[in-house]
Amino acid sequence: MPARSTGCEVQPMLEPLFGLLVALALGVYLVVTLLRPERF
């Protein structure tokens, strides 16, 4: 039983972290395209 509860605790934490990484990547991409539009 404890193995299942720890697995359930880890899973909900991965989704917001993944969303944060995607948001940061998009933010960096937008800043780079604003600073250097000739590259894209």
pLDDT in tens, 1-40: 445 455 555 567 889 999 999 999 999 999 999 998 886 6
Residue 40: predicted pLDDT: 62
Which residue from 20, 2, 25, 23 is spatially nearest to 10, judged by alpha carbons? 2
Please report, for the chain, the start and end positions of each structural domain, with discontinuous segments joined by +: 2-39
Residue 2: predicted pLDDT: 47
Is residue 33 within 8 Å of residue 40, measured between CB atoms? yes
Residue 37: predicted pLDDT: 82
Residue 1: predicted pLDDT: 44
Helices (H), the chain: 2-35
Residue 8: predicted pLDDT: 54
Instruction: Tally the C-alpha atoms within 13 A of residue 12's C-alpha that lie toward its C-beta.
Output: 4
Task: Find how far residue 10's CA is from the centre of its chain.
Answer: 16
